[in-house]
Structure 1
Amino acid sequence: MTEKVKALLGLARRAGKVASGDAQVEAMLKKGRGYLLLLAEDVPAAQKKYLQWARDCHLEVVIAGHKEELGLCLGLSPRAAVLILDQGFAGAILEARR
């Protein structure tokens, strides 16, 4: 994960445009909200569940970093899944990965 992606994740969280953790991400996906789903590469069991939901919601999925790294970017404990709730942040994160 690039430093720019990490910074964008932190900004998105401070702006209130992120859902993280199983309960929050699951609730938002069930409501059909979100623009980009980031999954930790070191949690394959969670990936399967979230990949199916993402397909159902037609979301782009990025598998990047470990759960500890995702949590640190957000200033939180380790996170297996992070859902970006803003189209601008989602686009910026995808662009920063290239």
Structure 2
Amino acid sequence: MSQYLNLLGIALRAGKLTLGEEHIVKDIQNKRAKLVLIANDTGKQTKKKLTDKCSFYHIPCYMVDDRETLSHAIGKSGRVAIAVLDQGFAKKLQSLLDESIRG
């Protein structure tokens, strides 16, 4: 399991994640979300809605592993997107994701 997935588990236990599309959209609009992760097998409409919101509110957004991998990392089933509410976690996740994209 990659490092960013481990970090997601820690962030969840710390109460720094938002799950569920509607909650994530609200957190983006309220600028509480610092980073949004979207499973690469998310439906077109959901993916578009979240990426559009993120770009409008200038919140970094990453396409990551499939929903099963994402869900497994946080111990919840059927999760297609996660918002990170903590700047520290968001920065670390971004650097890990950027590394894995480059690497």
Shared fold (TM-score greater than 0.5)? yes
Bigger shift: 29-38 or 5-14? Answer: 29-38
TM-score, length-scaled by structure 1: 0.91
Question: Which consecutive segments of 4 or more residues in structure 1 shift more than 6 A?
Answer: none
Structure 1 gap segments, 5+ residues each: none
Partner secondary structure for residue 49 of structure 2: helix
Contact 2:40/2:67 (<8 A) preserved = yes
Contact 1:35/1:60 (<8 A) preserved = yes
In structure 2, the residue matched to 1:17 is: 16
In structure 2, the residue matched to 1:41 is: 40
Partner secondary structure for residue 59 of structure 1: coil
Aligned Cα RMSD in Å? 1.2
One-letter amino acid matched to 1:29: I
The reply to whether residue 87 of structure 1 matches residue 87 of structure 2 is yes
Aligned length: 97
In 1, the alpha carbon distance for the partners of 2:86 and 2:28 equals: 14
In structure 1, the residue matched to 2:68 is: 68
Shift of 1:45: 2.5
Sequence identity percentage: 30
- Kindly report which structure 2 residues correspond to 1:45-56, keeping only aligned pairs within 5 A, or say none: 45-56=45-56
Contact 1:69/1:78 (<8 A) preserved = no
Shift of 1:14: 0.3
TM-score, length-scaled by structure 2: 0.87
Structure 2 gap segments, 5+ residues each: none
Bigger shift: 64-73 or 5-14? Answer: 64-73
